[in-house]
Structure 1
Amino acid sequence: MSDSVSDCSERRSAVTEAEVEALVRGICFKTGPPRRLGVELEWLVHEPRSPRLPVPPERLEAAYAALRALSLRSALTVEPGGQLELSSAPADSLMECVGSVSADLDAVRTVLRDRGLALHGLGQEPWNEPTRFLHEPRYDAMETCLDRAGPEGRAMMCSSASVQVCLDAGYEEPGPLGHGRRWLLAHQLGAVLVGAFANSPMAGGRLTGWRSTRQSLWAAMDPGRTSSPSLDGDPRTAWARHVLDAPVMCVRAPSGPWEVPEGLTFRAWTRSAAPPGRDDLDYHQTTLFPPVRPRGHLELRMIDAQPGDDGWIVPLAVTAALFDDPEAAETAYRTVKPLAERAGSAPAPCNPLWTAAARSGLADPELREAAVTCFAAAADALPRIGASDGVRKAVAEFTDRYVARGRCPADDLLDRVAGTGRPPHGTEDLLHGKDIRP
């Protein structure tokens, strides 16, 4: 949601429906050897000693002004509710990505610590109601549009945080690393990733009944904006049709509030008396939030933010191994393919499989079994993709603590709330207002 807005006064000539389809098909799946990897990390920002209290906007603004002065490899942006996002530069390897982002996070944490603030990895703000920090035409329009379908959109904008893994689309040719196979794997493995890394069981100070409240919000929003396209047939064709038939969030203006049309698809806009331009098409695609979004590469958007300073490394490493190592990719695909029958014909994240993942995590037996196999395949592949001993150890510890036991990070917080006395791990300390830095 941090994409920049182009100057509306410089719109190019109008695009036709056929041109839109050709542009989307040519741009959104750039095929070739899968060599690059990236990650986008969203964080909630709290005061460690009083995390239940919202940070005043003035303190956030002062801290973010100091952060903007840093020289980082990653792009640093702020989300509508004041969440902080760090988007890595495309890396040539897993360890290059881990190293550069870790260095940037160290610098960011130092600046925030000097101002009495800290980053916290939770998929959903557990205590405070959604409150907008950014007041810009884009977010005014987004809020108006999403409010029509209910309160979930505002909660997504202002209170959620995630780990988004970015992968090359893959080879043009079929095979374990072919773009068609990777497209299917991203959607079928997605539910397993939701369940394994679910980390948002609270909102508004209450337990919600979901391991991933964040994912439940995505499923409850306008499906034309947040659901996946059809997985039948060619991915390029399916995505191009999805873009054309998706609702237009807003029509930008050079000044003043942006128009928020109701019931207008991009296809209908191209057929109108005042059709959109190429930049309108580019912007429209940034307002679509499916669990897997093709943008030349693939954005996997279904993973909750993780507890601890380095918790984000595990989903990044596991996902990279399962997609970029041919042997692990084949194992993962064969493992999750049977889950498609349970998902049925409904798109993700609105189908029964994704709902079970968000509600139950790996307490769901089928998801647990699939996760055990996939994490084992990832562990075997990590040495082949150059993972360090530290990364391999982190994945092994996560597997032992959660996957092998049918658990996810949300269960730690649930145990603490229930008073079972299990050892704390980041989120429990957060409940008590302690600094969770190691």
Structure 2
Amino acid sequence: MSDPSGSSNTYDGGTGHGSAVTEAEVEALVRGICFKTGPPRLLGVEVEWLVHELRQPRLPVTPERLEAAYAALRTVPLSSTLTVEPGGQLELSSPPAASLTECIGTVRADLDAVRAVLARDGLALVGLGHDPWHGPRRFLRAPRYDAMETCLDRTGTAGRRMMCTSASVQVCVDAGHTEPGPLGHVRRWWLAHLLGPLLVAAFANSPLSAGRPTGWLSTRQLWWARIGAGRAGAPTLDGEPRAAWARRALDAPVMCVRRDDGGPWDVPEDLTFREWIRSRAPRPPTREDLGYHLTTLFPPVRPRGHLELRMIDAQPGDDGWIVPLAVTAALFDDPEASETAYRTVKPLAERTFGRPAPHNPLWTCAARDGLADRELHEAAVACFTAALEALPRLGATPEVTGAVAAFLDRYVARARCPADDLLDRLSGTAHGKDVRT
């Protein structure tokens, strides 16, 4: 995964030599490692894709074909890290980039190489936030994913859908420095959570399941929210972000207890990491367990040294991912645009009713109704306009600014999102008419 700060989301496997951790140690580790503070310098993106048949996308791809294709891809030299998700989705995670232009160039070249290999096997990358035709089916078999499935099944089917049928564009920005202001880590943490619903709404691209409308423009966001507040919820936004996230990590439920003997991992019920430290059962947790525990938390904004914004649906077209990357980068890394975004989304905080993301009315409205919501629409127009004005200051190419301008005109200005196009095509409705009623 992309890592602007150069840090990892897991702890050094040799550090601590397997010794048990205390609550105080966990708080210090989480505060120090999950937030690498300093002037924002770097940018990254993680692009997930569904993999479908090139000519008959409604036919399921067999596991054997996927395995053969991914074996071929492992021989291709890439600058980005290539990984496979539990349902066979493919993800490319860029290396940290010093500029938006560098980040786009690296990922675009890697995607070209990946597409060429897949095309030879009759497969294609598809930019949708949720598979519109196929139900959840596990491709990867490993103790980690077996345990994850067992844990998430306790709250219904949302977990399997999240694991196997969803795809996203995840933008990674530096956490920010310790000084107050637009580029400080406190402001950026707050902004990420209030800008999040706007990004959900503007880039919603998953209105279908089993070939039919779900009633939600971002069905992907619906499933992520339904895996539960303990697993997918953010901390409250009052107080200092590092302390808030440390508490959140300690009080989050443990997904599983890993084993080294090859047997199935234990999946405890209602055991928080704090309680595991205190009980020391079934064994005392170590730093390595803490590092793994943090990877099993899926809030819409996840601190991993940098901030990983996880709420954006995968986008249509070969280069659709560039627009959310560019808009987000501009709103976080250009001080003028960041200040505009802050003033724009600040009134939206009242609609959260003090409840953490994504389990509050504002996030629900964004995922269900998109920019049909008047306040979200007005905020999106203001923020996209500010981003468009900022992009030349960040050195964006005319191609990138043109893509953002086209998205603003085609979707945001008209209170639409890519999901509306999918619904239009499904119903045969003329472009521009609302088909959700």
**TM-score if structure 2 supplies the norm length?**
0.94
Equivalence for 1:184 = 190
SS at match of 1:247: coil
SS at match of 2:221: helix
Query: Closer, same or farther in 2 for the Cα pair 1:260/1:5, shift >3 Å?
Result: farther
Write the letter of the residue equivalent to 2:269.
E
Equivalence for 2:343 = 334
Please give the per-residue CA displacement for 1:141-195, whole angstroms capped at 9, x wherever unaligned: 0000000011001000000000000000011100010000000000000000000
User: Deviating runs (4+, > 3 A) in structure 1?
Assistant: 1-8
Please give the per-residue CA displacement for 1:271-297, whole angstroms capped at 9, x wherever unaligned: 123320000000000000000000100
Equivalence for 2:251 = 245
- Give the distance between the partners of 1:164 and 1:70, measured in 2 at CA: 23
- Give the distance between the partners of 1:90 and 1:16, measured in 2 at CA: 32
Comparing 287-296 with 345-354, which one deviates more in the overlay?
A: 345-354
Q: Which runs of 5+ in 1 are unaligned?
A: 424-438
- Give the distance between the partners of 2:108 and 2:146, measured in 1 at CA: 33
Instruction: Kindly state the Cα deviation for residue 419 of structure 1 after the two structures are TM-superposed.
Output: 1.2
Pairing 1:163-174 to 2, within 5 Å after superposition: 163-174=169-180
- Give the distance between the partners of 2:72 and 2:166, measured in 1 at CA: 23
Equivalence for 1:304 = 313
Pairing 1:57-96 to 2, within 5 Å after superposition: 57-96=63-102
Write the letter of the residue equivalent to 1:44.
L
Give yes or no for contact 1:43–1:120 (8 Å, CA) kept in 2.
yes
Please give the per-residue CA displacement for 1:309-331, whole angstroms capped at 9, x wherever unaligned: 00000000000000000000000
Equivalence for 2:111 = 105
Instruction: Kindly state the Cα deviation for residue 204 of structure 1 after the two structures are TM-superposed.
Output: 1.8
SS at match of 1:86: strand
- Give the distance between the partners of 2:195 and 2:10, measured in 1 at CA: 30
Give yes or no for contact 1:38–1:166 (8 Å, CA) kept in 2.
yes
Write the letter of the residue equivalent to 1:362.
L
- Give the distance between the partners of 1:348 and 1:335, measured in 2 at CA: 18
Pairing 1:338-377 to 2, within 5 Å after superposition: 338-377=347-386
1:205 to 211, 215, 230: 211
- Give the distance between the partners of 2:202 and 2:383, measured in 1 at CA: 11
- Give the distance between the partners of 1:4 and 1:128, measured in 2 at CA: 32
Q: How many corresponding residue pairs?
A: 422
Equivalence for 1:40 = 46
Give yes or no for contact 1:11–1:279 (8 Å, CA) kept in 2.
no
Instruction: Kindly state the Cα deviation for residue 395 of structure 1 after the two structures are TM-superposed.
Output: 0.3
Instruction: Kindly state the Cα deviation for residue 421 of structure 1 after the two structures are TM-superposed.
Output: 3.4
Equivalence for 2:412 = 403
Write the letter of the residue equivalent to 1:269.
W
Query: Closer, same or farther in 2 for the Cα pair 1:202/1:39, shift >3 Å?
Result: same
Pairing 1:247-266 to 2, within 5 Å after superposition: 247-254=253-260, 255-266=262-273
1:229 to 221, 232, 235: 235
- Give the distance between the partners of 1:323 and 1:233, measured in 2 at CA: 21
Instruction: Kindly state the Cα deviation for residue 4 of structure 1 after the two structures are TM-superposed.
Output: 8.4
- Give the distance between the partners of 2:363 and 2:293, measured in 1 at CA: 26
Please give the per-residue CA displacement for 1:1-27, whole angstroms capped at 9, x wherever unaligned: 99889989x962000011101111111
Write the letter of the residue equivalent to 1:36.
L
SS at match of 1:337: helix
Equivalence for 1:323 = 332
Give yes or no for contact 2:11–2:291 (8 Å, CA) kept in 1.
no
Equivalence for 1:379 = 388
1:272 to 279, 286, 289: 279
Give yes or no for contact 1:73–1:104 (8 Å, CA) kept in 2.
yes
- Give the distance between the partners of 1:58 and 1:192, measured in 2 at CA: 39
SS at match of 2:279: coil
- Give the distance between the partners of 1:242 and 1:112, measured in 2 at CA: 40
Give yes or no for contact 2:143–2:265 (8 Å, CA) kept in 1.
yes
- Give the distance between the partners of 1:249 and 1:172, measured in 2 at CA: 32
**TM-score if structure 1 supplies the norm length?**
0.94
> Is 1:196 aligned to 2:202, yes or no?
yes
SS at match of 1:76: strand
Equivalence for 1:388 = 397
Instruction: Kindly state the Cα deviation for residue 242 of structure 1 after the two structures are TM-superposed.
Output: 0.1
Instruction: Kindly state the Cα deviation for residue 50 of structure 1 after the two structures are TM-superposed.
Output: 1.0
Please give the per-residue CA displacement for 1:67-101, whole angstroms capped at 9, x wherever unaligned: 01111000000000000000000000000000000
- Give the distance between the partners of 1:96 and 1:49, measured in 2 at CA: 33
> Is 1:29 aligned to 2:29, yes or no?
no
Instruction: Kindly state the Cα deviation for residue 422 of structure 1 after the two structures are TM-superposed.
Output: 2.9
- Give the distance between the partners of 1:221 and 1:160, measured in 2 at CA: 13
- Give the distance between the partners of 1:7 and 1:278, measured in 2 at CA: 8
- Give the distance between the partners of 1:222 and 1:308, measured in 2 at CA: 31
SS at match of 1:259: coil
